[in-house]
Structure 1
Amino acid sequence: MQMYRILFYLIGMSINFLGAALIVKATVGTGFWTALFVGLRDNFGFTVGVWYATSMIVTLFVNAMLLKKLPEIQALIPIILESIIFDFWLEIVLSRVDLASQPVLLQSVVFLAGVTLIGLGVAVYIMPGFPRSPMDQLFLAVKERFKLTMKMAQTLVAIFVAAIAFLIGGPVGYGSLFAAIALGPLIQFWYSKVLLVYQSFHPKHANSKQYQYQYHYYQDQWSTS
């Protein structure tokens, strides 16, 4: 059953980063984290995946300092894996796709497809209940360290990261705002569909305490997004 969980995680991550790559290519604005990665790439070179991994590793240590705990070193393996998947879609499969000069309608269709895929991908990869990404953990760390609500913590982190992305020329646009608003409901929509599939193949884990904790954590995030 462990292999089944890993397979589910990898499929979800692949779908998620395909969606993220499509949003980057649509050129109408990305999520605030992705805007930061793209801005760093455009200013300092390397790939978006490299900056994804670098930012997540830095965030891992920031979380540890905020929570006054040791860094979750076990998160390094999925971070590196995720950066490779991101670069696979963006730098290899879609490397020759350039929509900057294409009609707004086409850009919007590609963008909406990307947002939809991210919603599906997140719903799939959180299902196995593996440790949360440093990005998710950062919201909790800020919330606990400064005694804020989850919504306020998410908002402050989003504003801070988006501001940095904007200052370094990252792709912050109207699509960024739409993605921030739409992703929560989309993840919740797909989660209810994916849950039926996951439970049919792995009912034991779906009823475990670890899974129930993961479920309620993301429910809290959706309700405050």
Structure 2
Amino acid sequence: MGRSRKESQDIKLHSGTRKRNDYIFLLAGNIIIGLGIAVFIKANLGVDPFTMFNMGLSNTLNISFSVIQWAVGLSILGVVFFIDRKKINIGTIVNMIMVAPAIEGGAWLLNNFTPQINTLIVSIIVAAIGFVIFSGGVGMYLAANLGIAPYDLIFVILAERTPMSLRVSRICSDGFCFFVGFLLGGPFGIGTVLCVFCVGPLIAFFTHKSEEYLNSH
């Protein structure tokens, strides 16, 4: 009887710790996503396709980037609400609100407190770092399982409702944003093209590693 009570207390304690870690991963992951994109922008080799799409739309409509990102996020949520509303959770709203200010704040810090990049090799290295940071942030908040970002809902639902894997569905959604962002005059470069094909596998890797960590703590 005493052992059963002790096991119950241990399970409850572990559950509470996991919940706390989930929220930490959710908040930290979204901040890291914004910082990763800011590093990407600093490299001046293009940005990720979704940011490229939003920046192109922002320039075309002459509306601030944050407002555009929030408006696009709300539009996606409106569609998802009718398709699979159960996927909309607190993490969905947190991502929609936090990432745009994190990008702008990170870009401001990098522009004011880091030297200018003058060589292609340094740009490539900085872009690669941005790649990894961004993918790690997405993996962290996905592993928290507290809701999916509006944009990420697209490729997750595609993977669930079609024969496509998570990696392939991410490539397809990024490819669409790249195409439309290009038409809108969004900033792009070799980094954007690589992002279409490399981010999906990196996100899958970091999601798996983050899940392993959360499940063991």
Place the TM-score, normalised by the shorter chain, in its bin: 0.7 to 0.9
SS of the residue 2:21 aligns to: helix
Partner of 1:139: 155
Higher alpha-carbon deviation: 16-25 or 131-140: 131-140
Distance 1:68 1:106 in 2: 43
Q: Does structure 1 conserve the Cα–Cα contact (< 8 Å) formed by 2:139 and 2:207?
A: yes
Residue 50 in 1 paired to residue 67 in 2?
Answer: yes
Q: Which position in structure 2 is the counterpart of 1:8?
A: 25
In the TM superposition, residue 171 of structure 1 has moved relative to its aligned partner by: 1.5
Task: Give the C-alpha shift of residue 35 in structure 1.
Answer: 0.6
Q: For residues 153 and 194 of structure 1, what CA distance do their matches in structure 2 show?
A: 21
CA shift digits 1:142-201 (9 cap, x unpaired): 577xx7433575555333322221111112222112112222332343344434432332
User: Equivalents in 1 of 2:86, 2:31: separation in Å?
Assistant: 29
Asked if the contact 1:36–1:162 (Cα under 8 Å) also holds between the matched residues in 2, the reply is yes
1:83 and 2:97 equivalent?
no
What's the secondary structure of 1:127's corresponding residue? Answer: helix
Q: For each residue in 1:83-125, what CA deviation from the matched residue of structure 2 results, as whole angstroms up to 9, or x when unmatched?
A: 33232212x32343685x7211111111011001112212222
Q: Which moved more, 1:184-193 or 1:6-15?
A: 184-193
TM value normalised by structure 1: 0.72
Per-residue CA deviation, residues 15-46 of structure 1 (Å, 9 max, x unaligned), is: 22111111122121222101112223333344
Give the equivalent residue in structure 2 for 1:21.
38
Partner of 2:34, secondary structure, is helix
**Contact preservation (8 Å) 1:61, 1:71:** no
Partner of 2:54: 37
- TM-score norm. by structure 2 comes to 0.74
Higher fraction of helix: 2
Task: Structure 2 unaligned segments of length 5 or more: list them.
Answer: 1-15
Instruction: Give, in whole Å, the separation in 1 of the partners of 2:208 and 2:176.
Output: 31
Larger Rg over CA atoms: 2
- Range with greater deviation from structure 2 (148-157 or 181-190): 148-157
The answer (yes or no) to whether the contact 1:47–1:87 under 8 Å persists in 2 is no
Q: Distance in 1 between matches of 2:123 and 2:137?
A: 21
The alignment-based identity, stated in percent, is: 22
Deviations 1:52-89 (A, max 9, x none): 22211111113335x28699485334411333323221
Number of aligned residues: 196
Considering only aligned residues, what root-mean-square deviation do their CA atoms show, in Å?
3.0
Q: What corresponds to 2:8 in structure 1?
A: none
Matched, 1:172 2:188: yes
Change (3 A) 1:140 1:14: closer
